[in-house]
Structure 1
Amino acid sequence: MARRKRLQGHPLHRPFRHPRRKDRAPGGVERCRGTDLVDAERGRILTFDLVLKGGEIVFPGEGVRTGSIGVRDGRICAILDAAEKAQGRRVIDCKGRWILPGVIDPHTHIGFGDKENDWSSETATAALGGVTGLLSFWRHDDLGSSTGPWRAAAEARSAIDFGLHFGVTSRRHVAELPALAKRFGVTSVKVYLMYKGATGAAKGFTEVDDALLYAALQAGARIKGGVVGVHCENTEVIPLFREPLKAAGRDDLAAWDEQSPGFLEAENVFRVAFFGEKAGCPVNIVHMSSAESLEIVRRLRRPGRPPIHVETCIHYLSLTRDSPLGPIGKVNPPLRPQADVDGLWEGVRTGEIATIGSDHVPRKRATKGPDIWSASAGFPGLAQILPVLIEEGHHKRGIAIERLAAAVSRNVATLYSLPGKGMIAPGYDADFAIVDPDATTTVRAADYPSHSDYSPYEGMRLRGRVTHTIRRGEILVEDGVLAGARGASGRYLHREP
């Protein structure tokens, strides 16, 4: 097993303030007050519903410590030192494996494949990858009347916990945001600058402009815990590059990058961050693809101004414009050169990029052609988050696993106000991904129940195999296989910061 950083008497984290308070018991044990747990020194063995025994516990952003975890009633009840004995109705031997917080994917598009069944197929796929929660974008002309039925559809089918972001495409949406946020517990929105002008009109969006962006930022500033995410691409300049490429007969994946080069994203990043400062609103640059965009953020961040959050996605950390994918590699923003991949990884290493998602779109391969210009944009990736990050980030680049865990758990929960999620501490939900860090996963789309029938990662051998996924104490995946019948046991994440 790869070398790991250890915690030596380190205070683990600031605990979630659940009504059941925690104590640090003798011998380094952490436990919930008000239970009948008694440590071994007093002659009894601790008893739980579930025990994760003798694993390498990954505390996001802080370190790794060998120990066991006790679970009761779907919550973490105790963190035990390696020598502490415990028993449970079910015990999973985690020796030689990482115990990570369950992944919370902040960037998915459920309903873009088979709308009737996506919540079932895609959340089962997510569970196979150690994902215990996700946030999906919900876009509709009338958010007030449509969100309730969409939430109900998810509650009837989702295997994992889920929440929503609202897509803002009109002034009506902006006017209704405060009431919608309170009603549905949705504190995050997304503005699509790629749908300005003719590009947006072709999809039926006629109100997306800089005024809508600024109005959304003003509304976001009035919502407690509000975050405005923005898709940054300057679509007004894209035709200047696209038409000569099409005229030259270009039909390769690199042409998609050349028609929307990284500096067109960076220009929009500057505008969004500058507007965010003037409006007093935190901004989130979603699916950042360009190293130049990250440099713009570095220049603009400073004390006293609203935060500039940055999210990237696993494909911008593992695939390039030169990957042999053809039209299936079409995505917005485009895949970039290797230099951008390396630059974004440095942002992950330093923590300047705080969150990482998949931008999962579960369409069929048949929509990805016949050429780069007519192919649909986006591709699946929910189940590959951990294997890609462990292979590309930990094994190849030496980034600490606790840094990667923070980017897909703690930081997501903090940014999006998800109480009880994203940490390993007493009182938090018992959401875990158990991973063999050196075992290999070979990606095959056929191994997943997703509506998608292909993967841009097809055939890749990635170190970091998810063996178990546990959501609120329930084992969803065991030995890499979905456990039992797929059920609708996921809960809606209503956010009230």
Structure 2
Amino acid sequence: MSKRYDLIVRNGILVCPEGPKKADVAVYDEKIVEIADEISSDAKETIDAAGNYVFPGTTDGHVHFNDPGRTEWETIATGSNALAAGGGVAFFDMPLNCSPCTLDAKNFMAKLAVAQKDSLVDYGFWGGLTPKNLDKLEELAECGVIGFKAFSCFSGIDEFERMDDYTAYVGMKMLAKLGLPLMVHCENAEITRDLTSIALANNKTTVRDYFAARPPITEIENVSRMISFAEETGCKLIIAHISTAKAVELVTQARSRGVDVSCESIGHYLILTDTDVERMGTVAKCSPPIRDHENQTKMWAKLLNGEITFISSDHSPCDPRLKDGEFLKVWGGISACQTTLPAMLTHAHHARKVPLGDIAKLTSQNVNEIFKIPGKGKIAVGYDGDFALVELNKEFTLQAETLFYKHKVSPYVGDSFRGAVTQTILRGTTVFKDGKIVSKPIGRHLRPNL
């Protein structure tokens, strides 16, 4: 007698590492146990995915859900719901803008307690690296952080101090011994600080003044310096939300000579340009800023060449009132975790013919491999039964009321997308279907397999 599975997804086109193929996939005890042209066994639940592409559920490596402490901005509950609505099954939450920041074991455990109660999907946590917590890195590693995050410039949050050169050198040596990566927000502190101060002193606060205060050289210079520290210390380095093609080139060159460095980028650096930001206003303010069309074209070339390792959302919401005012002075951050996969399908696959398998790698497989998360990130036997069912050619216009964020705000509201997530399945359990959250929180803590 054949085994009775928990779930069989039938008749879909599976987006597997080797490419899309029409097949059935079975899940038992939360894991993928069989993939075949036709599975003859039965199951407790069967999903007919005819007409759908079945992607591995996405993992967002860079979100700010701000919980605990700034729950008026976003919460783990609302953020994880939004992630699931976009085909996501896991996220890695940044050590800020929660309050207190995740700089020691005590505050890690406070965040973990919230996630255990409220997260719809699986989760991992970043620890912070600042001048004040070098003695806490080991205890954060023991808690199971997936890596550490640091800022070369002002972070926007006073309690999360920027990483000076001493902290970078000593911290990277420590992380190399711990076997954990460091992700750095790379913008030159002195140039951004002084250009911003001069602009404010002269009452220059428009969008163009903001761009002028954070020119491309601020990222390019700092990426080069962080690579030098990583090369010297042997620390695994990840450049956060890389925004310039020149900086990507520096990462590629360093990797070719053996430096363990990679980069993530964010959808808005590939989708939006500086003129879009001028039109949209403060809802599209972020740091580093969105660049010009020429750079965007070069960024797509870098992605097509495989030089960008993974795509995240850098979902960084705030109370909308913090976006009211002069552009240079308001909060910088974009809400986007619900739209990463549809945006990549629209702008990468449909517009630029990026293969679906590459999109699955950019949004799921690569990020889990970089952070050594076992059993996540691809449709293969032995992996978690994580799927995003997608109507690949379905067109829709993003409406504010369909967003699951605490504040229904995004620069993509009103934009047209082609590729709609209809159902999200986490470890064999449907958590989102046809526009609704259909599960209680079932997220689990993800730890790296070091």
When the two structures are superposed, what TM-score results if normalisation uses the length of structure 2?
A: 0.93
Displacement after TM superposition at 1:117 (Å)? 6.7
**Aligned-partner Cα distance in 2 for 1:396–1:453:** 27
Q: Are 2:175 and 1:215 equivalent residues in the alignment?
A: no
CA offsets 1:279-329 (integer angstroms, 9 cap, x no match): 0111000100111111222232224x3311110011111112111211111
Measured in 1, the distance between the counterparts of 2:102 and 2:7 equals: 45
Match of 2:134 in 1: 174
Residue 100 of structure 1: aligned partner? 55
**Is 1:422 aligned to residue 377 of structure 2?**
yes
Of 50, 54, 64, which aligns to 2:11? 54
| Counterpart contact for 1:365–1:453, Cα < 8 Å | no
Aligned to 1:382, what secondary structure does the other structure show?
Answer: coil
Note if 1:73 corresponds to 2:29.
yes
Which amino acid in structure 1 is aligned with residue 390 of structure 2?
Answer: V
Cα 1:125/1:206, change in 2 over 3 Å: closer
CA distance in 1, matches of 2:382, 2:229: 39
Q: Say if 2:230 is the partner of 1:269.
A: no
Q: Residue 430 of structure 1 contacts residue 471 of structure 1 at CA under 8 Å; is this kept in 2?
A: yes
Could you say if the C-alpha distance between residues 472 and 334 of structure 1 is closer, same or farther in structure 2, counting changes exceeding 3 Å? same
| 1:455 matches 2:414 | no
Q: Residue 157 and residue 341 in structure 1: after superposition, are their counterparts in 2 closer, same or farther (change >3 A)?
A: same
CA spacing shift, 1:298–1:108, aligned 2, 3 Å: same
Which residue identity lines up with residue 357 of structure 1 in the other structure? S
1:271-420 equivalences under 5 Å are 271-303=225-257, 305-323=258-276, 324-420=279-375
Answer yes or no: is the 8 Å Cα contact 1:380–1:452 preserved in 2. Answer: no
Q: 168, 192, 201: which is aligned to 2:151?
A: 192
Q: How much identity, in percent, do the aligned residues show?
A: 29
Conserved 8 A contact 2:102-2:108: no
Alpha-carbon deviations, 1:244-268, whole Å to 9, x = none? 6556755443432221011210100
* Equivalent-residue separation in structure 1 for 2:74 and 2:63 (angstroms): 15
Whole-Å separation in 2 of the counterparts to 1:406 and 1:456? 25
SS of equivalent residue, structure 1 residue 289: coil
Give runs of aligned pairs for residues 36-47 of structure 1, distance below 5 A.
37=2, 47=4
Tell me the distance in 1 between the aligned counterparts of 2:252 and 2:30.
Answer: 40
Structure 1 CA distance, aligned partners of 2:329 and 2:401? 25
Distance 1:115 1:158 in 2: 17
The 8 Å contact of residues 118 and 451 in structure 1, kept in 2 or not, is answered as: yes
Aligned residue pairs total: 442
* Deviation, structure 1 residue 363: 1.7
> Which residue in 2 is equivalent to 1:118?
75
> Per-residue deviation at 1:444?
1.9
Change (3 A) 1:427 1:299: closer
Q: Is the contact made by 1:253 and 1:329 (CA closer than 8 Å) also made in structure 2? A: no
Displacement of 1:206 after TM fit? 5.6
Alpha-carbon distance in structure 2 between the residues aligned to 1:402 and 1:346: 17
Shift of 1:488: 2.2
SS, match of residue 153 in structure 1: helix
Distance in 1 (alpha carbons) for counterparts of 2:359 and 2:9: 21
Cα distance in 1 for residues equivalent to 2:242 and 2:223: 9
CA distance in 1, matches of 2:202, 2:395: 42
Deviations 1:150-170 (A, max 9, x none): 101111100000010111112
User: Is contact 2:273-2:291 (8 Å) kept?
Assistant: yes
Extract unaligned runs of 5+ from structure 1: 1-35, 38-45
Tell me by how many angstroms 1:204 deviates: 4.4
Q: Offset at 1:473? A: 0.6
Q: Which amino acid aligns with 1:125?
A: A
CA distance in 1: counterparts of 2:392 and 2:317, whole angstroms: 27
Asked if 1:132 corresponds to 2:89, the answer is yes
Amino acid corresponding to residue 146 of structure 1 in structure 2: N
Question: What does residue range 463-474 of structure 1 map to in structure 2 within 5 Å?
Answer: 463-474=418-429
Q: Given the alignment of the two structures, is residue 260 of structure 1 paired with residue 214 of structure 2, yes or no?
A: yes
Q: How far has the Cα of 1:240 moved from its partner?
A: 4.8
Residues 94-113 of structure 1, C-alpha deviations (whole Å, 9 max, x = no match): 22221111100000011165
Between 204-213 and 325-334, report the one with greater CA deviation. 204-213
3-state SS, counterpart of residue 222 of structure 1 = helix
The structure with the larger Rg is 1
Query: What one-letter code is carried by the residue in structure 1 that aligns with 2:416?
Result: R
SS of the residue corresponding to residue 169 of structure 1 reads coil
CA distance 1:488–1:481, shift in 2 (3 Å): closer
2:443 equivalent to 1:495: no
How far the C-alpha of 1:47 sits from its partner, in A, is 4.0
Higher alpha-carbon deviation: 86-95 or 283-292: 86-95
**For the aligned residues, what is the CA RMSD?**
2.1
On the 8 A contact 1:178/1:222 being kept in 2, the answer is no
2: CA distance, partners of 1:425 / 1:435: 18
**Contact conserved, 2:209 with 2:328, CA < 8 A, in 1?**
no
Partner of 2:339, secondary structure, is helix
Change beyond 3 A, Cα 1:492–1:205 = closer
Structure 2 residue aligned with 1:478, among 422, 425, 433?
433
Q: Is 1:91 aligned to 2:91, yes or no?
A: no
- The answer (yes or no) to whether the contact 2:169–2:233 under 8 Å persists in 1 is yes
1:31 corresponds to which residue? none
- Please tell me whether the aligned partners of residues 57 and 425 of structure 2 are also in contact (alpha carbons under 8 angstroms): yes
Give the structure 2 partner of residue 32 of structure 1.
none
Superposed, 1:216-255 pairs within 5 Å as 216-224=171-179, 226-242=180-196, 245-246=199-200, 250-255=204-209
Cα pair 1:364 1:451 within 8 Å, conserved: no
Amino acid at match of 2:424: T
CA distance in 1, matches of 2:162, 2:364: 34
TM-score, L = length of structure 1: 0.84
What residue ranges of structure 2 are gaps of 5+ in the alignment?
none
